Amino acid sequence: MSVKTVINEMSKEQQKEKESLNLYYSTQTVIQEALNKLGYNNEMYELLKEPIRLLTVRIPVRMDDGTVKVFTGYRSQHNDAVGPTKGGVRFHPDVDEAEVKALSIWMSLKCGITNLPYGGGKGGIICDPRNMSFRELERLSRGYVRAISQIVGPTKDIPAPDVYTNSQIMAWMMDEYSRLREFDSPGFITGKPLVLGGSHGRETATARGVTICINEAVKKIGKELHGARVVIQGFGNAGSYLAKFMHDAGAKVVAVSDVYGGIYDPNGLDINYLLDRRDSFGTFSKLFNNTISNKELLELDCDILVPAAISNQITEENAANIKASIVVEAANGPTTLEATKILTERGILLVPDILASAGGVTVSYFEWVQNNQGYYWTEEEVMEKLEKVMVSSFDNIYQLAETHQVDMRLAAYMVGIKKVAEASRFRGWV
């Protein structure tokens, strides 16, 4: 490897670390502003600005070629004053400590917004599942559970799927935890297959929640979803299901993308064709000759823009070029604080990630409840309950933003952090 290659690789790693730290620090900035608006003192901020617990683990895995590879994993628990912590586990090469800590804080906010009896948790393993076999993934999943088993459980911290993890991985994790505890424990983890205690509607829950937020946002600005032009960045779990739901609702999905690029048709895309042709990681763009970049996609003329991929996509450099009248964040942290200010000043309605993507944790809560009581609901019941939670949460945040004359992101933080702060205050922690 040449010196130049080494330097380039180092700069990439440094850039990833910088982005994660920026995400973490910007989260703390908005939390401090929200607590100040609510009248809490600096002691409360000192308690809530960081997770109460962060576990770093090293997981040895026997690979298919006989070698042993050691993976690094994390589990962050932000605050358990309200109840057990809750949050997904992601398998991704860009996972790092700052990102996991920030995401656990966001989970606390999501649970506060939706009034769930949880604090926020998050986990991750630095790996690339796209380059791993089925059996290697199983060994890694089981090894992670063994490594974090002392701080997780149905009444401590409940994991769930996240980026590049799915119901099969949740099943392996549940089985490993049940072996360790020597009793069946479906409530330890959510996002499981239906036959192992999963809930109807869990796989599509995040996209359903985003869809509900889009419906409410469209009503607020006096428009209709039918015929609206929609652009979606990202075609993973959330993005692909959302494209399907938008298409079925009569909206015109004019552009979608994956990590390699996107496709655009002002007359609307054949979403069912794309769903059939994508691979398990949501990749489809390599099937097409004429593609656009993700940067170009964000600046397309449309009514509704949904960043559903990665963080820091709408920044102060391109915020002035966004042409949508509604931006709904399905990804984690796709819009920087500087860009949020620019979009708000331009009159664009921004629905923040901690509200828009709260459908996943809401249905995870439903799954946990069903596991605990041993009684399972129909998909219609789950969707009805989800609709009530998301509409109520949206209206609450929208009204608070109007009352305090702040953007919806700050309003969402104010709603989300208040429950954790009050629980901490009543417990006598601050």
Q: What is the DSSP string of 321-351?
A: G---SEEE--SSS-B-HHHHHHHHHTT-EEE
Q: How many residues does the chain have?
A: 430
Q: Mind listing the pLDDT tens digit for each residue in 160-184?
A: 999 889 999 999 999 999 999 998 8
Q: Indicate which residue of 101, 122, 192, 418 is catalytic.
A: 122
153 and 294 in a common domain: no
**143 in a structural domain:** yes
122 has catalytic annotation: yes
pLDDT of residue 11: 60
Domain assignment present for 401: no
Q: Give the domain CATH number at 102.
A: 3.40.50.10860
Mean pLDDT value across the chain:
93
Q: What is the pLDDT of residue 3?
A: 44
Domain of 225, in residue numbers: 205-356
Please give the chain's pLDDT, 430 residues, in tens: 554 444 455 465 666 556 666 788 989 999 999 999 999 999 999 999 999 999 999 999 999 999 999 999 999 999 999 999 999 999 999 999 999 999 999 999 999 999 999 999 999 999 999 899 999 999 999 999 999 999 999 999 999 999 889 999 999 999 999 999 998 899 999 999 999 999 999 989 999 999 999 999 999 999 999 999 999 999 988 999 999 999 999 999 999 998 889 999 999 999 999 998 887 777 888 888 889 999 999 999 999 999 998 888 999 999 999 999 999 999 988 999 999 999 999 999 999 999 999 999 999 999 999 999 999 999 999 999 999 999 999 999 999 999 999 999 999 999 999 999 999 999 999 9
- Assess if residue 179 is contained within a domain: yes
* Residue 341 resides in a domain: yes
CB-CB contact of 187 with 153 (8 Å): no
Q: Which residues contact 289 (CB under 8 A, 6 or more apart)?
A: none
- pLDDT tens readout for residues 260-275: 899 999 999 999 999 9
Taking the C-alpha atoms of residue 259 and residue 12, their distance in angstroms, rounded to an integer, is: 17
Residue where one domain finishes, among candidates 339, 356, 373:
356
Residue 2 in domain = no
Co-location of 138 and 237 in the same domain: no
Looking at the structure, tell me whether residues 176 and 211 fall in a common domain.
Answer: no
Total domains present in the chain: 2
Q: 197 in a domain, yes or no?
A: no
Which of residues 300, 321, 356 is at a domain's end?
A: 356
